[in-house]
Chain A
Amino acid sequence: AQKITQTQPGMFVQEKEAVTLDCTYDTSDPSYGLFWYKQPSSGEMIFLIYQGSYDQQNATEGRYSLNFQKARKSANLVISASQLGDSAMYFCSIKAGNEKLTFGTGTRLTIIP
Chain B
Amino acid sequence: DSGVTQTPKHLITATGQRVTLRCSPRSGDLSVYWYQQSLDQGLQFLIQYYNGEERAKGNILERFSAQQFPDLHSELNLSSLELGDSALYFCASSGRNSNQPQHFGDGTRLSIL
Contacts and interface: CB of A to CB of B under 8 A. Distances in A.
**A complexed with B:** yes
Interface of A: 31, 33, 35, 37, 43-47, 50, 52, 91, 93, 95, 98-103, 105-106
Tell me what chain A mostly uses at the interface: helix, strand, loop, or mixed.
strand
B42 A103 contact: yes
Interface of B: 2, 31, 33, 35, 42-43, 45, 48, 55-56, 58, 88, 90, 92, 94, 98-99, 101-107, 109
Contacts of B58: 100
B28 to A, nearest CB: 16
Contacts, number: 58
Contact of B43 (A47, A99, A103): A103
Contact of B99 (A33, A45, A93, A103): A33
B98 A99 contact: yes
Tell me what chain B mostly uses at the interface: helix, strand, loop, or mixed.
strand
A52 B99 CA distance: 7
B43 A91 contact: yes
Interface centre among A43, A46, A50 (most CB of B within 10 A): A43
B104 A50 contact: no
Given A46-B2, A100-B45, A100-B56, 20 more contacts: A33-B99, A43-B88, A43-B109, A44-B105, A44-B106, A45-B90, A45-B104, A47-B2, A47-B102, A47-B103, A50-B99, A50-B101, A98-B48, A98-B55, A99-B48, A99-B55, A99-B56, A100-B33, A101-B33, A101-B92
Contacts of A31: 98
A80 B103 CA distance: 24
B98 A33 contact: yes
B104 A44 contact: yes
Contacts of B102: 35, 47, 101
Interface centre among A47, A100, A106 (most CB of B within 10 A): A100
